[in-house]
Structure 1
Amino acid sequence: MRILTISAGKVMPLFGNHHPDYKSVASAIRKKAVSALDTPTTVDITTLGVKGDEQADLSVHGGIEKAIYVYPAEHYAFWNELLTRETKQSVHLEHGAIGENFTIEGLLETEVFVGDRLRIGELEFAVVKLREPCFKFNAAMRYKGATKAMLQSGFSGWYLRVIKTGALAAGAQIELIPGSRETSIAQQNYKLLNNRNQKDLWE
């Protein structure tokens, strides 16, 4: 288990016809690699996440409880295939495209539980919850069914709280320290999928 890419993004206009009320919204969902395996630059990680990373709406992203968004690289094949089929264009997403800060390998939603800890290098993180996609994800993917596809696939990724700050670079090994293991990220996703009150996710 290791980090493949550390990514950050700036708030900028996100355009699309994926919400009835907005043609453009502010978002930092589009992240770019600041540390990768071929250029493993050291990046500072604070209690608010990757230094230099921004969030447009702190009510749903960022802050201490959602400082780092983690996404498994194993899911990229799913998105590339789905988006290529649905948009009729060849799609090859780069790490960070899902909006994640850490693109990792070797750890999936079925294996991660709320309250687990991840030790990465000298740093330590706590698993908080799954990522709940919204219309901005549809706009970023240029596909109106993206949020629904994330929920139905269970490929949500998850948020981390930073317990011990420091510096990290791509390639760092991840150690999983189990917590109480009552609810996995996959189980959280299943509950959300069956909660049809989450109307905004389906628009």
Structure 2
Amino acid sequence: MIITSTNIAKPTTIIWNGKEVKTGIYKKPVNQPILLGNQIVKNDEVSDRKHHGGEFKACYLFSEDQYEYWQRLYPNLDWELGMFGENLTIFGLNEKDIYIGDIYKIGSALVQVTQPREPCFKFGMKFGTQEVLKQFIDHGFPGTYVRVLETGFVKTGDTLKLVEKAKNSISTWQFFDLLYSKEKNADHIKLIMDNKALPKRKRDKLKSFL
């Protein structure tokens, strides 16, 4: 896996249900290294601190491999890397191969896979339709958030090197399916309900389905 683009956003105001809403989803590629902090990426706009940023969502990764699929669905959009609001566009990232709790070295930073992205109305606004939310969920390749165990700079061309494989875990792809499936996989819940790479509130919610 290799970084093909580093992306940050300036605050952008959109209109949602007649109200002004600030967002940081409109990320643009930058030519210099970016600093992964333990709460946010430095100089990146994180408008909604309730749902973005923080320990378990410090940085968002999305696979460049998925771009072709979405470009076919939405050929008229102004496409560039960072389109999905990701801080790091990664060639070769496959959600079926990365597991909740996996630890990677990227550049001089050390990160841990935490949870997949759950799309919201701002994602729909960017794509011009709220229908894209269901399409995103059905497609099943949402990218992943990471928490930053050791802050550091990353740049285009840096590779993701697996440092420690999570034990007794499930893949990001399986966890995303678990979040949205009506019939919850009890075995998957049992595997991750004590996984400290997930925030406690999310683990507690999943336990309620057992």
**Coarse TM-score class (shorter-chain normalised):** 0.7 to 0.9
Equivalences for residues 98-177 of structure 1 within 5 A = 98-176=84-162, 177=164
Kindly tell me the number of residue pairs found equivalent between the two proteins. 182
Mapped to 2, the partners of 1:48 and 1:59 lie a distance apart of 12
Matched, 1:34 2:30: yes
Per the alignment, do residues 195 and 25 of structure 1 end up closer, same or farther by CA in structure 2, a change over 3 Å counting? farther
The unaligned stretches of length 5 or more in structure 1 are 36-40, 85-89, 197-203
Distance 2:64 2:143 in 1: 10
Aligned-residue offset at 1:43: 2.3
TM-score (norm 1): 0.83
Cα distance, 1:55 vs structure 2 = 1.0
State the Cα deviation string for residues 124-172 of structure 1 (Å, max 9, x = none): 1011101000111100111221111110001211100011112221100
**Other-structure match for 1:83:** 74
How far apart are the structure 2 equivalents of 1:46 and 1:189? Answer: 25
Moved over 3 A (4+): 21-24
Deviation at 1:91, TM superposition (A): 3.1
State the identity %. 32
What RMSD over aligned residues (CA atoms) do the two structures have, in Å?
1.7
Could you tell me how far apart the structure 2 residues matched to 1:71 and 1:22 are?
Answer: 31
Q: Is there any run of 5+ residues in structure 2 with no aligned partner, and where?
A: 184-210
| Post-superposition CA distance 1:167-191 (Å, at most 9, x none) | 2211001112311151211111112
Q: TM-score, normalised by structure 2?
A: 0.81
Tell me, yes or no, if structure 1 residue 2 matches structure 2 residue 28. no
